[in-house]
Amino acid sequence: MKPRGEFDREALPASTKFYPAQGVTLRGRGAWRDALCPFHDDHSASLRVRIENGAFRCMSCGARGGDVLAFLRLRNGIGFVAAAKRLGAWRGS
């Protein structure tokens, strides 16, 4: 059964607010920031986050995704609609 509602990408939180709220401290300046990867026991800030769209990639364990929604899904093992609702980006029921 297809869920009723619609995804609103514009309602996704800004990456500069989302990642710190997830316990991921972003370091550096510019388009890409560094952080400790929460997907493995990281000690060398191998996670890279693109501030513009929230895309992320770990240069050590290979975890990656295109936005904050993908990060939330991967980190919590939840589906698209559940993640979109949790982030306030799902309109409807």
Q: What is the pLDDT along the chain (93 residues), one digit of tens a residue?
A: 566 889 999 999 999 999 999 999 999 999 999 999 999 999 999 999 999 999 999 999 999 999 999 999 999 999 999 999 999 999 986
Q: Do the Cβ atoms of 55 and 48 come closer than 8 Å? A: no
At residue 6, the pLDDT reads: 95
Q: How do residues 67-91 score in pLDDT, each as one tens digit?
A: 999 999 999 999 999 999 999 999 9
> Is the dihedral angle over the CA atoms 20, 33, 70, 88 positive or is it negative?
positive
Contact 70, 39 (CB under 8 A): no
Residue 74's SS3 state is helix
> Distance between CA atoms of 76 and 93, rounded to whole angstroms?
21
Ordered by where they begin, the domains of the chain are 14-76 (3.90.580.10)
Of 81, 74, 14, 13, nearest to 47 by C-alpha is: 74
pLDDT score at 54: 97
**Predicted pLDDT at 4:** 82
